[in-house]
Chains A and B, each alone.
Chain A
Amino acid sequence: GAGVSQSPRYKVAKRGQDVALRCDPISGHVSLFWYQQALGQGPEFLTYFQNEAQLDKSGLPSDRFFAERPEGSVSTLKIQRTQQEDSAVYLCASSWRDRGYEQYFGPGTRLTVT
């Protein structure tokens, strides 16, 4: 079946612009995660949804970052007033399990803030 998809795959934003990144999880997957991956590093947790409920947002780096999953399927990560330090690959993962088990990743969105 179809895996996790993300769009856009690449995004260039001028500093100060708002961006919205989309994640389509595997159909039926309860859990959805957002991670940030800096160049040469492992993914770092941003936030977690179980269905439409955001149960953990402890990894969001600032209040400029906001995520939602209103109908328990598609999720959007929004970054307001982008800064250069926001440049990274944003990965979405989903799982049929709750909590952190068996996560399947999307291809990521590479965000470059100029």
Chain B
Amino acid sequence: GENVEQHPSTLSVQEGDSAVIKCTYSDSASNYFPWYKQELGKRPQLIIDIRSNVGEKKDQRIAVTLNKTAKHFSLHITETQPEDSAVYFCAAGGDSSYKLIFGSGTRLLVRP
């Protein structure tokens, strides 16, 4: 069935360094790939998304890249700050489905 794999499960970086989280998806019909940030006890927040007709999208310190041939996409956070510490989820969906399929999450810790 449909599946999204996410790596790493935990990531610890020094403040100011970059962080990269990677996801692969199985459904070749997927064409929408959002990323959510979830702080402890809070709602998942949509931070960036990408459609399959583009290969990269950037919003300030956050960028997402998509390789549709390889069926993987990545989140890049530059100049990390302690407030970036949270769990990040990737997901896949789009025209082929009503739902989003989520990865298992990456716990990011930014050390001051």
Contacts and interface: CB of A to CB of B under 8 A. Distances in A.
A4 B42 CA distance: 13
Interface of A is mostly: loop
Interface of A: 3-4, 31, 33, 40-45, 48, 50, 55-56, 59, 91, 99-108
Interface residues of B, number: 25
Contacts of A41: 104-105
A105 B43 CA distance: 6
Contact of A101 (B6, B42, B44, B94): B94
Contacts of A40: 105
A108 B39 CA distance: 13
A86 B56 CA distance: 39
A63 to B, nearest CB: 20
B99 interface: yes
Interface of B: 4, 6, 32, 34, 36, 42-46, 49, 89, 91, 93-95, 97-105
B89 A106 contact: no
A42 B105 contact: yes
Contacts of B89: 42-43
A107 B34 CA distance: 18
Contacts of A44: 102
A100 B93 contact: yes
A101 B99 contact: no
A102 B94 CA distance: 10
A59 B99 contact: yes
The 7 closest A-B pairs by CB, nearest first: A42-B102, A100-B93, A45-B99, A48-B98, A105-B43, A56-B98, A107-B43
B99 A48 contact: yes
A56 B93 CA distance: 14
A55 B98 contact: yes
A2 to B, nearest CB: 13
